[in-house]
Amino acid sequence: MAKLALKPSHPERICWGCDLYCRADDLACGNGTERTQHPIELFGDDWLEWAKEQGGYGDFDPSADRKERACSSGPVVTAAPTSDQNLPKLALNALHDVLDPELGIDIVDLGLIYRLEVDTEGQVSVDMSMTTPACPLGEHLLHEVEETLGRVPGVRGTEVRLVWQPPWSPARMSELARRALARDD
């Protein structure tokens, strides 16, 4: 089962009714003809705290997967010496909310982010790739990255470049992404 994004940028674009995480306009699970809303749409930004108060998770911490973020060959993350040194970490963490709609796995764990750099003015520059040059969702993902980074406090601008060298391979995926895809087989 792919993980549930805790605070997705656009929950309205994805059906969260099963582990397929289909695009809202292409439901394939057979669970009905209606899209299942993400909890953030139903309960607001503090949905996770509310669910924990209701005992909905018991001892399970759905945010624990954030602690398993070691990518096999993760992105190069740098900041100019005089910039906010926390900004690269905040920006990279925000990108964990950008999901590949076909796989339901975030683009950082998929290994699509190759480089993230922050300059002294808060300008974030990102090099990213796609799993394939023919990816039909490439423009969508680029737009999602720009939008997501634009909401990070301290980011003054973004530049997202699509790169093809080195070519993406499954070796770039995090262990978390590998386990999620293995469970889907």
Predicted confidence (pLDDT) per residue in 76-129, tens digit: 776 666 556 788 889 999 999 999 887 888 999 999 999 999 988 899 999 999
Domain span holding position 120: 11-184
- Identify the residue with better confidence: 32 or 172: 172
Burial 99-118 (b: 16+ CB within 10 A, else e): bbbebbbbbbbbbbbbebbb
> Residue 98 in contact with residue 113, Cβ under 8 Å?
no
**% of the chain residues with pLDDT over 70:** 58
Rounded to 10 deg, the angle between the 87-95 and 138-150 helix axes is 140
The H or E element spanning position 162 is strand 157-162
> What pLDDT shows up at residue 5?
59
> Residue 16 in contact with residue 36, Cβ under 8 Å?
yes
> What pLDDT shows up at residue 150?
93
In a domain? residue 29: yes
Alpha helices (H) in 34-185, listed in sequence order: 39-43, 47-53, 87-95, 138-150, 175-184
pLDDT at 18 over 90: no
In a domain? residue 6: no
* Average pLDDT for 33-37: 66
The CB-based long-range contact list for 131-138 (8 Å cut-off, 24+ gap) reads 131/100, 131/168, 132/168, 133/164, 137/100, 137/101, 137/102, 138/162
**% of the chain residues with pLDDT over 90:** 25
pLDDT at 136 over 50: yes
Locate the DSSP E strands across 42-144: 76-79, 99-100, 105-106, 113-118, 123-128
> What pLDDT shows up at residue 67?
36
In a domain? residue 3: no
Lowest mean pLDDT among 37-41, 115-119, 144-148: 37-41
- Identify the residue with better confidence: 145 or 41: 145
Count of structural domains, the chain: 1
In a domain? residue 116: yes
In a domain? residue 2: no
> What pLDDT shows up at residue 55?
56
> What pLDDT shows up at residue 135?
80
Q: Which CATH number is 161's domain given?
A: 3.30.300.130
The angle formed by the CA atoms of residues 63, 71 and 93, to the nearest 5 degrees, is 45
- Identify the residue with better confidence: 169 or 78: 169
> What pLDDT shows up at residue 29?
61
> What pLDDT shows up at residue 75?
75
> What pLDDT shows up at residue 179?
83
Alpha helices (H) in the chain, listed in sequence order: 39-43, 47-53, 87-95, 138-150, 175-184
In a domain? residue 5: no
In a domain? residue 1: no
In a domain? residue 4: no
